Structure 1
Amino acid sequence: MQRRRIKPLHLSSSEEEGTEDLDVTLGNDNESIVEPISVPPVISHNVDPVPDDNQRDGHTEACPQEETNSSAEPELDPDLLSAIGESTSDSPDYGDDIHGNLSQLWLPLLKKGIPIPSKDILMKDYPIPENCRLLQAPILYAEMSAAVPEMVRNRDKTLTASQQQLGTGNTAINRGMDLLLKSDNKVLAMKHLSNGCRLLCDSHYLTTQARVKLITPSLDKAFLNIVKESERDKSLFSSSLSEKIKAAKVIEKQGLSIEKPAKTAKPPQ
């Protein structure tokens, strides 16, 4: 078998690099047998960079991290908040809790009020002080009372009673404050303060009842019983009133579905 040397064609500069002469072997039939070409290994371009001196010594520089709380809102200056104005949210802003024993005293009174006999005793125990007569509810003279309709007079009587109770409650609180200023009898002073708070809580309850009476005449008669049985919480007619109304409607529909239809009278022949 003869060997013949073949020179490569002229290639471009990029193709010439790493290209060697090709050895071709002639077989028995003078066929050219090209020997395998040795291709230089391909070097990947994604090679890790050579570590610098600091990395060789075991020291790596930490890259600055981005702030994780970039979305956090900065607090506004109090002067800016004052310039913006107060919040108009419908939800009330509650303050710090009062003593638990006090809360247990006032909550039942705010829901049901003071029994009338107990309230009459409190009203008599605290007459309006002589030097603060304006705590007394003002009188409507007979001439003015005769000039207005009866409905207005009745409404004025209700408001007068409520106003008088507010004055009496303020009187009880002032009795307690007067004792604290003039003596150290804290027990009796606390009793006067408590009685004043009781009267004020009852006035709060009476105002709630007045609002209920103002609204209920405009409601459907089918739901008056539900409204009357509801007990106030943060809502005037209880927060669960809507669920109770839905349940009442479902019961009404079920009752109509099982009700026996009335027989129609046959016309006389």
Structure 2
Amino acid sequence: MVPNNCDLLLAPTLNPEVKAALPDTLVKWDSSLVYKQKQLGIALSALATVTEMIIANETSKQKMLKPLSDACRILCDSHYVETRTRRGFVISSINTKLRDALIESSRDKLLFGDNVSEKLKAAKTIQLSGESLKNAQKPKFQRPNNIASTSGNKSHLNFMPQHRKTDNKPNNYRRATNYSQRQTHSSSSAPRPSDRRPLPAKTSAAHHRR
């Protein structure tokens, strides 16, 4: 436990007014730092307890070893958390297809181990094998734009109506028939002799003298 006279070893809480103005990413980052500060405060409290025992001439080794062991375990956990944080930053910014190879690797002197290159090569080989086993997708049929619709669209400006032939007679016969019909129509529309009014006769000068 943190001593009563060492309240500053406790992690300070973020002000509500400031927390409301921060984005979620920064709030999460602050929470991780708070956890780290709590661990450091506990480790310092354990070492302070041992220091107090030494000042009080405590001779029991068991009483002195317990707070020392707690401090060591807390510091080891804090060290492990920092390593995991560093790995997380690197993994989040690399190719997603090769991310699993780095996650499964374990650290030694290097952050991702000495044999990380072999694991990446194996992951690339598996990826290429999977791509070759996939079925090739057939291209979808697309209708050309220059082919007109079979039904036709009369709303287009270039629409040409198709006239059907009423008979199979030759062109000369149709021309003669059309000419005779026009002649008949013109003769029927002309005025008949009975319908014509007689023109007024010209009066001579001698008739006026009489």
Give the TM bin, normalised by the shorter chain: 0.5 to 0.7
Alpha-carbon distance in structure 2 between the residues aligned to 1:175 and 1:260: 65
Return the offset for 1:178: 2.2
Q: Secondary structure at the match of 1:131?
A: coil
Larger Rg: 2
**CA 1:198–1:262 in 2, change beyond 3 Å: closer, same or farther?**
same
**Residue identity matched to 1:168:** I
Instruction: Output aligned runs, 1:137-216, within 5 Å.
Output: 137-182=11-56, 183-216=58-91
Contact 2:87/2:111 (<8 A) preserved: yes
**CA 1:252–1:139 in 2, change beyond 3 Å: closer, same or farther?**
closer
Q: Secondary structure at the match of 1:218?
A: coil
Q: Secondary structure at the match of 1:234?
A: coil
Return the offset for 1:168: 0.7
Which residue pairs with 1:218 in the alignment? Answer: 93
Which stretch shifts more, 196-205 or 179-188? 179-188
**CA 1:266–1:137 in 2, change beyond 3 Å: closer, same or farther?**
closer
Alpha-carbon distance in structure 2 between the residues aligned to 1:189 and 1:260: 65
| TM-score w.r.t. length of structure 1 | 0.47
**CA 1:196–1:263 in 2, change beyond 3 Å: closer, same or farther?**
closer
Instruction: Select the residue among 103, 106, 111 that pairs with 1:231.
Output: 106
Q: Aligned residue pairs: how many?
A: 141
**CA 1:264–1:163 in 2, change beyond 3 Å: closer, same or farther?**
same
Return the offset for 1:266: 9.4
Return the offset for 1:204: 0.8
% same residue: 38
Which residue pairs with 1:262 in the alignment? Answer: 136
| TM-score w.r.t. length of structure 2 | 0.60
What value does the CA root-mean-square deviation take over the aligned residues?
Answer: 2.3
Instruction: Select the residue among 131, 136, 139 that pairs with 2:10.
Output: 136
**CA 1:148–1:264 in 2, change beyond 3 Å: closer, same or farther?**
closer
The answer to which structure has the higher helix fraction is 2
Alpha-carbon distance in structure 2 between the residues aligned to 1:166 and 1:186: 24
Alpha-carbon distance in structure 2 between the residues aligned to 1:256 and 1:194: 53
The answer to which structure has the higher strand fraction is 1
Return the offset for 1:199: 0.5
Alpha-carbon distance in structure 1 between the residues aligned to 2:134 and 2:94: 29
> Deviation string for 1:228-256 (max 9, x for gaps)?
11111121112211111012223333455
